[in-house]
């Protein structure tokens, strides 16, 4: 490894960071992470911290998952790559598809289309939704509806259904025909409604209104995260997603669950859709499917959609989408090993228990620190606190304050992620009670510094 000074200098000079201003790495050099073990990461200066971010919501099994490393090494020896485009397949991807059929059986999803990550999975769901309607002779169904505050990745389709201006404005005009409705975000919403159930109903009414305005026969799909993640961890009332499902079904609109974060146990249930008792028509997954050990994802497809495609006699169902790395054998081997570990360790139950401890701990911190305007969580290991300069006006903190909290927390042994006014906490699902306490202490120190 190059020495620390070389790495720091050349990071600033030659590397552009995603989701950052290019000048930021000069003024605010990043922690250069060079090691990881269990739920801890280590930087180039030898400083260690509990990773309360879980990589980027993906490292559910931590950084030392021996069976996954062994599976990857074995597959690199056996076959490092072959395509799964029409005409060839590989043993690993078939085993994985078979396992995913069982895993997603309760969600009514029996078929997998493999990708290289979350944005890719979203894109495939959006595309196949339009194609589904064309096969059925409803070619006019081309529009997409989604939630403000929703995050659906970086590709143009996903960015078009994204509901956060930060990820859109610089790249507009995006795809036409995408419309957004208010999110069930109790802390800030256009209705000034603080009751989660009433707010859910108001948002469902807004969805009905938008469908009436656009015309149901022009809409292909509604896409939503079961718990909004990057938008600041916004769990809806339990009536919301079932309400969306009912409205979509009544209007012939497909429901795409973007479970890039929530699939594989993060909410305390195996999937976010199952958490709310909903079966979507498509599910975008990625992240924890390989726990960060390999870039990989899957768009899962509902049985009735599969039937529509397979029964087509016109040729309209031929898939004109695919990635070079769709069904990559090393990624598939990693995913098989991850899924076995995920099930063996039953990480969803630990996510539920530790998630409750984290959420309760954050509520205690809110009693101590006025800077905390809102505490969100209660559904597994997905929590956030929203920081405000002033509780009465809910004026968001400035950027420097968030960075200071992050810095001091890190110096105190906790890596957290600041996203706008939100501090997002999504540690590995294998985390212990003791390490939840470490996270809360580190955060407490960070909050005390501002
Ligand atoms: N959808 C959701 C809900 C996500 O959280 C993310 C990533 N954070 C994506 C899509 C995009 O995934 P990727 O970054 O792997 O392309």
Question: Ligand 1 centroid vs 118 CA: distance in angstroms?
Answer: 4
What pLDDT, on the 0 to 100 scale, is given for residue 165?
94
Question: Ligand 1 centroid vs 270 CA: distance in angstroms?
Answer: 18
Dump pLDDT digits (tens) for 196-250.
999 999 999 999 999 999 999 999 999 999 999 999 999 999 999 999 999 999 9
- Residue whose CB lies within 8 A of the most ligand 1 atoms, among 18, 57, 122, 384, for a mutation test: 122
From the CA of 122, give the closest atom in ligand 1.
10
C-alpha span between 38 and 389 (Å, rounded) = 36
What pLDDT, on the 0 to 100 scale, is given for residue 28?
85
Q: Which residues contact 61 (CB under 8 A, 6 or more apart)?
A: 68, 288, 291, 338, 341, 342, 345, 347, 428, 429, 430
Nearest residue to 114 (alpha-carbon basis) of 144, 136, 82: 82
What pLDDT, on the 0 to 100 scale, is given for residue 257?
99
**For a pLDDT cut of 70, what percent of the chain falls above it?**
100
**Average confidence (pLDDT) over 84-106:** 97
Q: CB–CB of 263/291 below 8 Å?
A: no
Q: CB–CB of 193/186 below 8 Å?
A: yes
C-alpha span between 208 and 61 (Å, rounded) = 40
What pLDDT, on the 0 to 100 scale, is given for residue 1?
79
- Residue whose CB lies within 8 A of the most ligand 1 atoms, among 160, 234, 267, 286, for a mutation test: 286
C-alpha span between 230 and 99 (Å, rounded) = 28
Question: Ligand 1 centroid vs 400 CA: distance in angstroms?
Answer: 26
Question: Ligand 1 centroid vs 260 CA: distance in angstroms?
Answer: 6
Q: Which residues does ligand 1 sit against, CB inside 6 Å?
A: 117-119, 122, 151-154, 225, 229-230, 258, 260-261, 286
Question: Ligand 1 centroid vs 285 CA: distance in angstroms?
Answer: 9
Encoding tokens for residue 154? 């970086």
C-alpha span between 339 and 177 (Å, rounded) = 37
Residue closest by Cα to atom 14 of ligand 1: 118
From the CA of 150, give the closest atom in ligand 1.
3
Residue closest by Cα to atom 15 of ligand 1: 118
Please give the class, per CATH, of domain 68-344: alpha beta
Instruction: Kindly tell me if the per-residue pLDDT of 272 is higher than 90.
Output: yes
Question: Ligand 1 centroid vs 153 CA: distance in angstroms?
Answer: 5
Instruction: Kindly tell me if the per-residue pLDDT of 255 is higher than 90.
Output: yes
Query: What is the pTM (predicted TM-score) of this model?
Result: 0.98
**Average confidence (pLDDT) over 332-355:** 98
Q: How many other CB atoms are there within 10 angstroms of residue 360's CB atom? A: 14
Instruction: Kindly tell me if the per-residue pLDDT of 25 is higher than 90.
Output: no
pLDDT band at 378 (very low <50, low <70, confident <90, very high): very high
Indicate the angle between helix axes 399-411 and 433-448, nearest 10 degrees: 130
Can you name the residues that pair with 256 across neighbouring β-strands? 223, 282
In the chain, DSSP finds a helix count (H) and a strand count (E) of 15, 16
Encoding tokens for residue 24? 């930021």
Question: Ligand 1 centroid vs 58 CA: distance in angstroms?
Answer: 10
Outline which parts of the chain fall under CATH 3.90.1150.10. Answer: 31-61+346-448
- Residue whose CB lies within 8 A of the most ligand 1 atoms, among 58, 146, 147, 151, for a mutation test: 151
Question: Ligand 1 centroid vs 448 CA: distance in angstroms?
Answer: 32
Dump pLDDT digits (tens) for 33-56.
999 999 999 999 999 999 999 999
DSSP one-letter string for 321-370: ---TTTT-HHHHHHHHHHHHHHHHTTHHHHHHHHHHHHHHHHHHHHHH-T
Residue closest by Cα to atom 1 of ligand 1: 152
Residue closest by Cα to atom 6 of ligand 1: 153
Instruction: Please tell me the CATH code under which domain 31-61+346-448 is placed.
Output: 3.90.1150.10
From the CA of 297, give the closest atom in ligand 1.
15
Question: Ligand 1 centroid vs 47 CA: distance in angstroms?
Answer: 29
Ramachandran category for residue 335: left, alpha or beta (phi over 0 → left; psi -120 to 50 → alpha)? alpha
What pLDDT, on the 0 to 100 scale, is given for residue 415?
98
The mean predicted confidence, pLDDT, of the chain is 97
Question: Ligand 1 centroid vs 120 CA: distance in angstroms?
Answer: 9
Geometric angle at alpha carbon 111, from 110 and 114, rounded to 5°:
140
What pLDDT, on the 0 to 100 scale, is given for residue 232?
97
Question: Ligand 1 centroid vs 3 CA: distance in angstroms?
Answer: 32
What pLDDT, on the 0 to 100 scale, is given for residue 441?
98
Backbone φ and ψ for 278, nearest 5 degrees, come out as -120, 140
C-alpha span between 223 and 230 (Å, rounded) = 15
What pLDDT, on the 0 to 100 scale, is given for residue 23?
87
Interface confidence, given as ipTM, is: 0.99
pLDDT band at 24 (very low <50, low <70, confident <90, very high): confident
Sheet holding 143-147, edge to edge: 109-115, 297-302, 282-285, 254-258, 219-224, 143-147, 178-181
Outline which parts of the chain fall under CATH 3.40.640.10. Answer: 68-344
From the CA of 230, give the closest atom in ligand 1.
5
């Amino acid at each position: 490894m190059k020495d620390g000074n070389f790495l720091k200098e050349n990071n600033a000079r030659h590397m552009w960071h995603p989701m950052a201003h290019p000048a930021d790495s000069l003024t605010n050099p990043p922690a250069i992470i060079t090691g990881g073990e269990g739920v801890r990461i280590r930087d180039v200066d030898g400083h260690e911290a509990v990773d309360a971010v879980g990589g980027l919501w993906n490292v559910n099994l931590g950084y030392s998952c021996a069976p996954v490393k062994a599976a990857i090494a074995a597959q690199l020896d056996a076959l490092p790559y072959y395509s799964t485009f029409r005409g060839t397949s590989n043993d690993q991807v078939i085993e994985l598809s078979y396992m995913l059929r069982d895993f997603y059986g309760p969600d009514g999803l029996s078929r997998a289309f493999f990708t290289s990550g979350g944005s890719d999975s979203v894109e495939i769901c959006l595309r196949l939704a339009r194609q589904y309607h064309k096969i059925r002779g409803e070619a006019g169904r081309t529009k997409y509806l989604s939630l403000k505050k929703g995050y659906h990745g970086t590709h143009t389709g996903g960015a078009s259904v994204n509901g956060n201006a930060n990820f859109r404005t610089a790249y507009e005009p995006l795809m036409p025909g995408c419309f957004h409705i208010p999110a069930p975000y109790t802390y800030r919403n256009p209705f000034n409604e603080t009751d989660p159930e009433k707010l859910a109903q108001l948002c469902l009414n807004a969805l009905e209104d938008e469908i009436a305005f656009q015309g149901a026969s022009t809409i292909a799909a509604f896409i939503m995260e079961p718990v909004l993640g990057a938008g600041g961890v916004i769990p809806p009332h339990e009536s919301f997603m079932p309400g969306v499902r009912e409205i979509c079904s009544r209007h012939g609109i497909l429901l795409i669950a973007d479970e890039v974060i929530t699939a594989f146990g993060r909410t305390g249930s195996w999937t976010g859709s199952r958490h709310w008792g909903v079966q979507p028509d498509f599910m975008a997954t990625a992240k924890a499917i390989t726990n960060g050990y390999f870039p990989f994802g899957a768009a899962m497809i509902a049985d009735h959609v599969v039937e529509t495609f397979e029964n087509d006699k016109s040729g309209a169902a031929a898939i004109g989408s695919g990635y070079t790395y769709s069904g990559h054998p090393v990624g598939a081997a990693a995913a098989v090993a991850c899924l076995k570990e995920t099930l063996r360790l039953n990480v969803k139950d630990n996510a539920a228990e530790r998630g409750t401890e984290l959420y309760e701990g954050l509520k205690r911190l809110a009693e101590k620190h006025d800077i905390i305007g809102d505490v969100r969580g209660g559904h597994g290991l997905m929590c956030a606190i929203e920081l405000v300069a002033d509780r009465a006006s809910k004026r968001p903190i400035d950027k420097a304050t968030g960075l200071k909290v992050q810095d001091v927390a890190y110096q105190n042994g906790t890596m957290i992620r600041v996203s706008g006014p939100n501090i997002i906490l999504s540690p590995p699902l294998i985390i212990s009670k003791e390490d939840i306490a470490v996270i809360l202490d580190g955060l407490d120190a960070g909050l005390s510094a501002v």
